[in-house]
Amino acid sequence: MNGIEKLICGWHLTEDDFMEILSEKDNPQTAVFLAKKAVQARKTFYGTKVFIRGLIEFTNYCKNNCYYCGIRCGNKNAVRYRLTKEEILSCCQEGYRLGFRTFVLQGGEDPFYTDERMEDIIRGIKAKYPDCALTLSLGERSYESYRLFRQAGADRYLLRHETADDGHYRQLHPENMSLGRRKQCLYDLKELGYQVGAGMMVGSPGQTKKTLAQDLAFLQELQPQMVGIGPFIPHHDTPFAHQMAGSVDLTLYLLSVVRLLLPRVLLPATTALGTLDPIGREKGLAAGANVVMPNLSPAKNRENYALYDNKLCTGEESAQCRDDIERRIALAGYEMVTERGDYFSGQQAVAVPAQESLTD
């Protein structure tokens, strides 16, 4: 069997298998075939549901200096902000009113938010919105911090691994950061019972077919419940200002591959995809994604959470446009739902007609 066949059948894949799958990406027939299979696989567990998450970007201070990121500490032009607990709670209130039942607290690695402060914020949100899932995305912390946050009520954690190749990791990050530590955080989070999200940018400088094959092999090993994949987009105040953006088509291809590799995964059609292509998010859904994450941050801060240039933060990207988002999702043939949207861990899949089984 070749790599594509193994992927479709749910076999364990080697890095060479992934290389073979990636070599097929420019064959339009393969891309169409994988997208079709990915959509079938998603349907088995989630039907036509698309889950929404309210994204609250609560701080753009960051102690790290990643070469790709617009909120790196070395970017002296970034206008920095932090949200207070009250501001965060009022984002949740607005989100709850709009129908969101998952809140994602995302921020740079900001030492201002000590364990005590974070714990207080997490408890505050969970006390007010016990029926909502809370996802954290605040970078690398100690096992003990992750444990505290979990006990305080956090359900999920997003921490993209960015690249699973040591050499490539070095090309993207300064000396004081390490892939080993990053991976350890992901394993710690899993052990603590979080639903965990890993992922990588597509087309980041130095990325090759080989490093992408390593990313896929790492995802297969980690078995995360969520995977964030979006194209790299340069930011003008970073060392990568003049690098090329990643490819939308390769991102879509990878979304299909990841859906087939981890059929139950919660897979967002990312903002970066929507930034490079006006119908990027719809294309993401057609490739196998099943999550969208509109922005719930206060309007006055939004433009300052600039990870890359031209990042969408109004219109379709804004949670306030929930009805527009719902309409667009419906037009694309899906149903936007407001449930928590946890990882499907049950035995019973949504019934699908026999001719739509994974292996036909």
**Interface residue list for ligand 5AD (CB under 6 A):** 68-69, 160, 162, 201, 230, 232-233, 235, 272, 307-308
What single-letter amino acid sits at 149?
A: F
Residue 310 one-letter amino acid: N
Query: How many angstroms separate the CA atoms of 130 and 133, rounded?
Result: 8
User: Based on CB atoms, which residue is closest to ligand 5AD, 153 or 230?
Assistant: 230
| Amino acid (1-letter code) at residue 53 | R
Classify residue 310 by burial, with Cβ atoms within 10 Å: 0-12, 13-18, 19+.
exposed
Smallest distance from ligand 5AD to CB 298, Å: 19
Nearest distance from C-beta of residue 76 to ligand 5AD, angstroms: 17
For residues 95 and 246, which CB has a smaller minimum distance to ligand 5AD in the complex?
A: 246
Residue 54, both tokens? 């309210």
* Shortest reach from residue 308's CB to ligand 5AD, in Å: 3
Q: Within 13 A of 17's CA, how many CA atoms are on the CB side? A: 18
Q: Which two tokens stand for residue 162?
A: 């960015």
Please report how close the Cβ of residue 32 comes to ligand 5AD at its closest, in angstroms.
26
Closer of 48 and 60 to ligand 5AD (Cβ): 60
Nearer to ligand 5AD, 36 or 170 (CB): 170
Using Cβ positions, the residue closest to ligand 5AD within the complex turns out to be 308
For the CB of residue 107, give the shortest distance to ligand 5AD in the complex, in Å. Answer: 9
Considering the complex, state which of residue 68 and residue 169 has its C-beta at the smaller distance from ligand 5AD: 68
CB of 14 to ligand 5AD, least distance (A): 26
- Cα–Cα dist 58/85, whole Å: 9
Q: Which is nearer to ligand 5AD, 216 or 332 (CB)?
A: 216
User: Cβ–Cβ contacts within 10 Å for residue 352, how many?
Assistant: 15
Nearer to ligand 5AD, 48 or 270 (CB): 270
Provide, rounded to whole angstroms, the least separation between the CB of residue 88 and ligand 5AD.
18
Question: CA-CA distance, 220 to 214, in Å (whole number)?
Answer: 10
Compare residues 103 and 334 and give the one whose CB is closer to ligand 5AD: 103
Cβ neighbours of 21 (radius 10 Å): 27
Query: Following CA atoms 167, 172, 175, 179 in sequence, which dihedral angle do they give, to the nearest 10 degrees?
Result: -60
Are residues 61 and 279 in contact, defined by beta-carbon separation less than 8 angstroms?
no
Closest approach of ligand 5AD to the CB of residue 117, in Å? 21
Cα dihedral 169/170/171/175 (nearest 10): 130
| For ligand 5AD, the closer CB: 162 or 165 | 162
Q: Read off the DSSP letter of residue 245.
A: P
Distance CA 224, CA 3 (A): 21
> DSSP secondary structure string, 43-83?
HHHHTTEEEE-EEEEEE---S---TT-TT-TT-TTS---B-
Task: Provide, rounded to whole angstroms, the least separation between the CB of residue 68 and ligand 5AD.
Answer: 4
